[in-house]
């Protein structure tokens, strides 16, 4: 599957495209789990803070959005 991934902190003023489009393995649901196909998602203000480093994510790489 394709995903937009944040690999490092970046200034949105200097870098208008801080996310990288990558291929990742399809997730496998746990027993009694459900796998959903997502066609679009949004990035909230908190995730913009993560991208710019005001509230850095606990690790890299992350897939922002919900």
The whole-number pLDDT of residue 45 equals 93
Classify residue 51 by its DSSP letter.
H
The whole-number pLDDT of residue 59 equals 95
The whole-number pLDDT of residue 2 equals 92
Q: Is the overall model pTM greater than 0.85, yes or no?
A: no
Q: Where are the domains of the chain?
A: 2-52
Three-class secondary structure of residue 65 per DSSP:
coil
Q: Please, what's the b/e burial string for 1-24 (b: 16 or more CB within 10 A of its CB; e: otherwise)?
A: eebeebeeebeeeeeeebbeeeee
pLDDT < 70 regions, the chain: none
Q: DSSP string spanning 4-31?
A: EEE-S---TTT-S--EEEEE-PPP-PPT
Other Cβ atoms less than 10 A from the Cβ of 28: the count is 7
């Amino acid at each position: 599957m394709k995903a937009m991934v944040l690999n490092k902190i970046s200034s949105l003023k200097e870098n208008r495209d801080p996310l990288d489009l990558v291929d990742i393995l399809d997730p496998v649901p746990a027993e009694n789990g459900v796998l959903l196909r997502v066609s679009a998602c949004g990035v909230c203000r908190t995730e913009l803070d993560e991208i710019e480093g005001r509230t850095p994510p606990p690790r890299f790489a992350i897939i922002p959005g919900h």
